[in-house]
Amino acid sequence: MSITYHAARKQFTLAGRNFSYIFHVTDEAYLNHLYYGAKLSDGADLTYRYQKCTENDYAGQIDGTPAKYTSLMPEYSQSNYGDFRAAAILIEDGDGAPVIDLRYSGHEILPQKPRIASGIPVARGGETLAVTLTDAYLNVDVVLYYTVYEDCGILTRRAEIRNRGRKPIRLKRALSVSLDFPDADFELLTLVGNHACERQVRKTPLTVGFVGVGNSRGMSSHHHSPFAALMRPDCREESGEIYGCSLMYSGSHLEQAEVDHGNRTRLLCGIQPQNFTWVLEPGEAFETPEAVLCYSSCGMGAMSRSYHDFFRQYVLPPRFVGQPRPIVFNSWEGMHFGFSQESLMHAIEGMRGSGIELFVLDDGWFGRRNSATAGLGDWTVNTQKLPGGLRAVADCCRENGMRFGLWIEPEMVNPDSNLYRAHPDWIIRAPGRAPVLSRNQCVLDLTRREVLDFIKSEMYRVISESGASYIKWDANRHLTENWSAGLSPERQGEVQHRYILAVYELAEYLTSSFPDILFEGCSGGGGRFDGAMLHYFPQIWVSDDTDAHERTGIQYGTGMCFPLCAQSCHVSGVPNIRNGRVIPLRTRAAIASLGIYGYEFDCNALPPEERAQIPADIAAYRRIEDLVLNGDLYRMKNTAESNEFSVALVSKDRSRAYAVYYQALNPHKNAPQVRINGLDDHRLYRIEELNLVLYGDVLRSVGIQLPRMHQDFDVCTLHIEAVSDAAEKREEMPEP
Ligand code: GLA
């Protein structure tokens, strides 16, 4: 049993493979957190941890905090009733009073996770605890849902706010998680960045006050990933305590740690309160997104592996999990908008027999889309560029042994488009103000039923007529004015959340209408890479930065939370279009092999020897692909902290591994040394490239010396296999 309730103590215990999460109901009926951390003995009574403070205990101290809040660690923190820290919920009643006082009123242990009415994606799951807190004056319930994923050490949480009263209430903040810790001995790990520089790992020590990330962009964004982890200062890759929190949400979000005057920490996570209000009419409910909590006592690596298992098993569309994906060749970096039917066919024919299985026609195939300034929204083929239509391109793919894939950007419109000219009022804009443009485009107001229905039917038509078996869904700008002509003035704070719910409705409609089509998510690169998107898209384009060196940092950060089988990575041409860097093909291929592998480059500029190498590189990828799809990731070095990057992908039964070692600048001294984590200590393994046989513990603790590297940005890949014969055998090292 992963969820138990001890009635005499009024204590709830949630237990996963490696953690316990415990809270109880106090005498005053508050739901009070007691513990989250390493797994405790069954039946452990932690109610002693709660020492109720009375006014007498508090006599003489006049810092102004009501006594009970000096001892409470509320499971769902509330506002304006004595707790001065940032709260999970902020509500205004019909009188405008901002007070909420939530007390326990009941609970249920449900055999299955309940369905979500708003359509917001949550992880598939079983047994779920639902605890109801009630504000008796407002007649408002807050139901807290907890689902334990015992096998991967994960606990998910979300809240549902129900107005049972007679008057509307206004939600001004409705977060998914509030999690208190009695100390502040933490750093906050966050994933921050920018376009073409997504998810850089940042660690910030906590101090009194706030540390966190969040944005108001209406997308999970390149800038701040909806993820944060509280880690002990001694936490390392494979040791130490860490608490991860990943929000399954693609809109504006907040992840914030607060340390109070008493040196206690509160982690809050959920929908960004800036720009958010929600009017809840009598009888209505508001569902927050789900947050995925992960505790590890064995470092960041173990946390990441738990998340990877969880997303693979419970979030990604099951029909794609563990399945090899097509090796794609994408037209974007090589051709941008400047292609013709002839040049596309030339590229496709040029890749015949290379092992590439699917050609993706990226942006530029529709309307007057000859640059980013026009045509977005006009989803009819540009017959000047493609006189034979998409059919001709798809046929050419088929004749050359490839399938066909297509790029769409359904949520957006250029003002210079027929769609905009016909419906200038269909965009998100504020009355009386010129719309703010970004990449020359506006965001369609999908919160309006007529706009959403139009886009649904347009996209259905485009996809069904295209002959595509792969769709790349892009979204290249963020939300600004946050006003909708379809909502009353008091509901304008709902625009961003309603927008993302509409995106989910569209994604659900299209992915379920075309279940055999592989949808790849994208948002100006990796600007909407989050757990909710992974519910629809089994893979997401990691970044518009395809330079292999930069990709080591971006893929390192992305892998903190998301599995490699969700990370789309392409080998691109050199000099890199973004930074001009020239990196050897073997390095570009090795770094791209740590994800869903593909290509995008200018065929005309491709050196013949690189073209000739593609079949071998694809075959090499196919050899380790099952480790990308299903294996465990072990990180040994990363370019965020050093000149080197090295990881190992290890099969679940530990019989095989694939390791990649990369060195940025060649220091011209000793040959690189590398340790390999994740293997069985007492098993012998053969390292094919070095002709070495060593025990797993030797590989982990002593390590191996690699052949000397002779240039910058070089790489060494290792294929490691357990040998059945148990005798340790060490052969000569090759000469460096
Ligand atoms: C975004 C994507 C690119 C490409 C372009 C097309 O930037 O990330 O891969 O599809 O849009 O405009």
Query: Which residue from 337, 361, 363 has its CB within 8 A of the most atoms of ligand 1, so it is best to mutate?
Result: 363
Cα 485 to middle of ligand 1, angstroms: 29
Torsion of CA 448, 452, 454, 458, to 10 degrees: 160
Under the banding of pLDDT at 50, 70 and 90, the label for residue 386 is very high
CB 362 less than 6 A from any atom of ligand 1: yes
Cα 577 to middle of ligand 1, angstroms: 13
Mean pLDDT of 463-492: 98
310-359 confidence digits (pLDDT tens): 999 999 999 999 999 999 999 999 999 999 999 999 999 999 999 999 99
The residue contributing the CA closest to ligand 1 atom 7 is 524
Q: What is the pLDDT of residue 59?
A: 57
Q: What is the pLDDT of residue 734?
A: 46
- In the sheet where 656-663 sits, what is the strand order? 632-637, 644-650, 656-663, 714-722, 684-687, 692-695
CB 363 less than 6 A from any atom of ligand 1: yes
Q: Tell me the β-bridge partners of 12.
A: 5, 23
Under the banding of pLDDT at 50, 70 and 90, the label for residue 725 is very low
> Among residues 210, 199, 289, which one has the least CA distance to residue 253?
289
Q: Which two tokens stand for residue 99?
A: 């007070």
Under the banding of pLDDT at 50, 70 and 90, the label for residue 67 is confident
Q: Residues of the chain with pLDDT > 90: what percent?
A: 93
CB 524 less than 6 A from any atom of ligand 1: yes
Across all residues in the chain, what is the average pLDDT? 95
Q: What is the pLDDT of residue 420?
A: 98
Which residues touch 533 (CB under 8 Å, ≥6 apart)? 220, 250, 507, 521, 540
**Which residue out of 93, 362, 378, 544 is catalytically annotated?**
544
673-683 confidence digits (pLDDT tens): 999 999 999 99
685-712 confidence digits (pLDDT tens): 999 999 999 999 999 999 999 999 989 9
Q: What is the pLDDT of residue 70?
A: 80
692-695 vs 656-663, strand pairing mode:
unpaired
Reported in sequence order, the residue ranges of 195-331 that DSSP labels E, i.e. its strands, are 197-205, 209-214, 224-231, 242-248, 253-259, 265-271, 278-280, 285-287, 290-296, 328-330
Q: Coil, helix or strand for 119? A: coil
Q: What is the pLDDT of residue 395?
A: 98
Q: What is the pLDDT of residue 69?
A: 79
121-173 confidence digits (pLDDT tens): 999 998 999 999 999 999 999 999 999 999 999 999 999 999 999 999 999 99
Query: Which residue from 360, 522, 528 has its CB within 8 A of the most atoms of ligand 1, so it is best to mutate?
Result: 522
Residue 544 among the catalytic residues? yes
pLDDT of 568 strictly over 70: yes
* DSSP state letter for 267: E
Cα 361 to middle of ligand 1, angstroms: 11
Angle (CA) 7 11 13, round 5°: 115
172-209 confidence digits (pLDDT tens): 999 999 999 999 999 999 999 999 999 999 999 999 99
pLDDT of 210 strictly over 70: yes
Q: Can you tell me the distance from the alpha carbon of 285 to that of 318, in angstroms, rounded to the nearest whole number?
A: 29
Q: Which two tokens stand for residue 106?
A: 């009941």
511-530 confidence digits (pLDDT tens): 999 999 999 999 999 999 99
Atom in ligand 1 nearest the alpha carbon of residue 407: 10
Cα 328 to middle of ligand 1, angstroms: 15
The residue contributing the CA closest to ligand 1 atom 6 is 363
Which residues touch 259 (CB under 8 Å, ≥6 apart)? 184, 206, 207, 208, 209, 265
| Phi/psi of residue 123, nearest 5 degrees | -70, 150
Residue 83 among the catalytic residues? no
Q: What is the pLDDT of residue 726?
A: 44
Q: What is the pLDDT of residue 359?
A: 98
The residue contributing the CA closest to ligand 1 atom 4 is 332
**Alpha helices, DSSP H, located in 405-484:** 418-422, 449-466
